Each structure stands twice: as C-alpha cells, then as structure tokens.
Amino acid sequence: MTIATAEALPGLQPHSGLSKAWTDRYTSSLMNTFGPPKRVFVRGEGAQLWDADGNRYLDLFAGIAVNALGHAHPLIVQAVTAQLTTLGHVGNFFATAPQIALAERLIDLVGADDARVYFCNSGTEANEAAFKLSRLTGRTKLVSTEGGFHGRTLGALALTGKRAIREPFEPLPGEVVFVPYGDTAALEAAIDDQTAAFIVEPIQGERGVEPAPPGYLTAARAITERHGALLILDEVQTGIGRTGTWFRYQPEAAQNGAWQPDVITLAKGLGGGLPIGATIALGRAAALFSPGAHGTTFGGNPVACAAGLAVLYAIERDNLLDNAVRIGGRLRGGILDMDHSAVTGVRGAGLLLAIELADPVASELADAALNAGFIVNPVNPQSVRLAPPLILTAAQADEFIAALPKLLDVHTTRSK
Ligand code: PLP
C-alpha cells in the first residue's frame, strides 16, 4: 500500500519556502474569522514549530492549550495510525473499544464510579451538552460568571460572560444570570431553588488566566447542593494536567471534604491535537440523558479516542503532571526574578500562566516574541498567556526566560 504524504496531495505544493503565497491563498479561500494568520506552519516536533520559510519557533501556546504532548508525539502518531489503519469511524449506533476505554479511564481519573461520559468534538459542544443536560432537571435558570468563556455555539455563548462576543448574536437561549467571578456572596444571592445549574471555570483562561479565589469552588459546591442545582465545572482549558493535577478542582476538593461536581466539561488537551471533547456527569446528572435526547455523528470517534488514550498514558508514564508544576514554577520564578519594571506579576498555575504587564502592550510584546522565535498569546491588553506543551523542558523554559528581558525592554521604553 502506498501512503500519499501530505505534500503529494493536490493543492499542497509547494509545501515550504513561500509563506507569503500561502497567506494570500488563505485570505482568498477562508472566512475572515481569525484575522490574517501571523505565520503559516509546516512542521512541528515536541515544543518546536517551523514555518513555511524554514524559521524555528518555541511553542509556548500549544495551539491554545491543546498540544499537551507537543507536536508529532510518537505515542499519538502510533495510536492514531494504528487505529486509523484498523477502524476509523463507525458512528454512534455502534461502539468501539477506544471510546469505551477512554470513558473508563476518565471515570477513573475523576474518581467517581457513578460518572458517565458523553463524547463530542470540542469545548463548546461539551458545554452545549452540559447546558442541555441542565434543562432536563426541569429547571431553566442558569447562573454563570462575568468574564467567563464557554464557547461560540449559541448555547455555550449564552453562558459566556463577555458582552462583546454575545451581543451581535442576541437573542441567545435564556435565562442566564451573570455574577462577578470569585464573589461567594453574589453567588449565594443568585442561586435559588429554581436554578438548574451554575457553570464556572476553575481558572478563567480567556479572560486572562484569572484563578478563582481559594475556597470559591467549594462554596459553589455547597450553595448549589443546598438548592438542588447542578455544579458544572468547565475544565476545557484547565483539565488534563495543564495546571499540574488531572483536573484543576481536585486539590481544593480534596482539602475540603473530597466533594465532587455534578458535571465536568473537557476538550483541548484531551486529544493532544485531535478534536475531541467530553462531558462527564456524576450521580443523578449522569442519568439525565436518555436515548434520543442528545447526539453527534463524530463524537467518540475511535481515532480521536485513541489519541486521548495516548495522551493520558503519556502524562502518567512520563510524570507530566509533576513536569507541569516544576516547569511552571521555573517559568514563574524566572519571570519574577528578573524584576523587570514592565512586569507586575505572574498569574495562574502549572503550565497555564499569564505575565501581568504594567502597560497595555501585550499585542506588541507577543509580536516581538514571535519575531524572536517564541509563540505566546496576548490574552488581553495587559496579559501575555503561556500555555506550552506539558513536555516543555527546563532548557526550553530557560530559553524563553533568557530572551524575555530584551523583549520587555522595547515595550517599557515605548510605553513610558
Ligand atoms: N471553555 C473554555 C474554558 C475554553 O477556554 C474554551 C476555548 O477556549 C471553550 C470552552 C471552547 O472550546 P472550543 O474552542 O473547543 O469550542
């Protein structure tokens, strides 16, 4: 059997050497949802990427916190190749082994035998499923947080507390009440016996990597429980080891009576780059969906699930939870130790961090970093987000720390 390489397929030549030509083709063939691409990438390996002109980059953003094992990880390549050459898709009238094994593994990691998994293809779909699940409680009121991000489909957007991206698409599915993030008293006032669910991120990633204050999630658990409302934790960005534990809520829950949420939503890191999302429901929430209530053609696809199994296996085998804590600490320490006047702090946990800037120069800084060979994300005007692969090495973290002062100098000078 001859397997065509990507370069051999129609439309893919020339594969390299012509960033400008690719950018022109992009602009005249794709909808303008993301603005002009800053680079066209042709190859990746570990935490490194190469663009169409042959330039090398250190990837400190991992495709928006997705490539947990970096690029072209042998375990994912092997798992996906083996699965695709055996069985690529059957649809959800039937089951496959990778789907079942991945669901079992996730239940194991959550630590609740009564949990059940619904697979989909993205974060927004995972939250969409959670939203629909909440309607089956017989209640329709939802509580969400200001500044929170849950996705772009209409249901997930209705739960998203960012006015600018909601307003053009109103009216959105209702009754969603927004409360200030981290404010327990406001939560107490908003949740009542008519509330179906409270949805919250343990760290608000898209807002700028804003962690919930200690105790907030535990209070949310107690309040929702008291009113018979579901607690939905959106761990799309924070889950699968990104902050140094399998799920971000786990350390706080373990310290406060080992509580569990009713629903956890996942995507991003779960597939290590293949599209997969999951809605995990526990206890009574796990029984809310019955046949016909919800569905998807591709969700639970065996190739994506094989990738998920490879990601979870590698995280455990290679101690990547510890690595996230260690390398995250090294990045944080290195950035703070430079004591640069342009930096006012570092937020986040593990390998989900934001460099807090004194001035609103995050975009300029990210562009300068890109030109210097580092991919970082200007998540808001005053914060640069780092969400590198969990395999990032100490030497790679140090490479960025060594380059940062010079990048910051330019923008301190300019902004003063
Ligand atoms: N929830 C959170 C917390 C996210 O950070 C994101 C994406 O950034 C989403 C949901 C939506 O995920 P997706 O882009 O895969 O639909």
Atom 1 in ligand 1: which residue has the minimum CA distance? 150
Structure tokens given for 212: 């919930």
Q: What DSSP state is assigned to residue 287?
A: G
| CA–CA gap between residue 334 and residue 404 (Å, rounded) | 10
Average pLDDT over residues 99-106: 98
| pLDDT number for residue 2 | 46
Tokens of residue 283, six digits:
């206890």
- Give the CA distances from residue 207 to residues 26, 136, 149, 161, in Å, rounded to whole numbers and listed in that order: 28, 30, 7, 10
Give the residue, out of 34, 119, 124, with the most ligand 1 atoms within 8 A of its beta carbon, to mutate for a pocket test. Answer: 124
Sign of the CA dihedral with 170 first, then 174, 180, and 186 last: positive
Q: Which residue has the tokens 């059997």?
A: 1
187 ligand 1 Cβ < 6 A: no
The string of pLDDT tens digits covering residues 175-186 is 999 999 999 999
What average pLDDT does range 262-269 have in this prediction?
Answer: 98
DSSP states of 128-158: HHHHHHHHTTT--EEEEETT----SSHHHHH
Q: Note the helical H segments in 191-341.
A: 205-208, 216-227, 249-255, 302-317, 320-337
SS3 232: strand
Distance, CA 107 to ligand 1 centroid (Å)? 21
pLDDT at 6 over 80: no
Residue 185: its pLDDT value, please? 98
**Exposure pattern of 209-244 as b/e (b: 16+ CB <10 Å)?**
bbbbeeebbbbbbbbbeeeebbbbbbbbbbbbbbbb
Q: What is the dihedral of CA 117, 122, 123, 127, to 10 degrees?
A: -60
**CA 142 – ligand 1 centroid, Å:** 19
The alpha carbon of 149 and the centre of ligand 1 are apart by a number of angstroms equal to: 7
pLDDT digits (tens, 9 = 90+) for 331-341: 999 999 999 99
Q: 268 an active-site residue?
A: yes
| Distance from residue 294's CA to the centre of ligand 1 (Å) | 20
- Residue 148 CA: which ligand 1 atom is closest? 3
β 141-145/343-349 pair status? unpaired
Length of the chain, in residues: 416
> What is the torsional sign of CA 43, 47, 53, 54?
negative
Pocket lining: 205 vs ligand 1, CB cutoff 6 Å: yes
pLDDT at 11: 85
Q: What is the pLDDT of residue 415?
A: 45
Q: Round the average pLDDT of the chain to a whole number and report it.
A: 95
pLDDT tens digits for range 225-246: 999 999 999 999 999 999 999 9
pLDDT at 414 exceeding the cut of 60: no
Identify the sign of the CA torsion 33, 38, 43, 44: negative
- Whether 305 shows a pLDDT value over 70: the answer reads yes
What is the CA 359 to chain-centroid distance, rounded?
26
Q: What percent of the chain stands above pLDDT 70?
A: 96
| DSSP 8-state assignment for residue 4 | P
| pLDDT value, residue 9 | 83
The pLDDT value recorded for residue 7 is: 64
Question: Are the CB atoms for 55 and 261 separated by under 8 Å?
Answer: no
Which tens digit of pLDDT belongs to each residue from 118-141? 999 999 999 999 999 999 999 999
pTM: 0.97
Q: Is 267 in the pocket of ligand 1 (CB under 6 A)?
A: yes
Given the residues 61, 141, 178, 234, the one annotated as active site: 234
Q: How far is the CA of 71 from the centre of ligand 1 (A)?
A: 20
The Cα-based distances of 407 to 50, 109, 237, 413, 414 in angstroms read 21, 40, 27, 11, 11
Is 234 among the residues known to form the active site?
yes
pLDDT of residue 13: 76
Name the band, by pLDDT with cuts 50, 70 and 90, for residue 410.
confident
Catalytic-role residue among 41, 119, 131, 149: 149
Domains of the chain: 77-317 (3.40.640.10)
Q: Pick the atom of ligand 1 nearest to 206's CA.
A: 5
pLDDT digits 0-9 by tens, 44-89: 999 999 999 999 999 999 999 999 999 999 999 999 999 999 999 9
149 catalytically annotated: yes
Count how many Cα atoms sit within 13 Å of the Cα of residue 340 in the half-sphere of its side chain. 27
Please work out whether the CB of residue 123 comes within 6 Å of at least one atom of ligand 1: yes
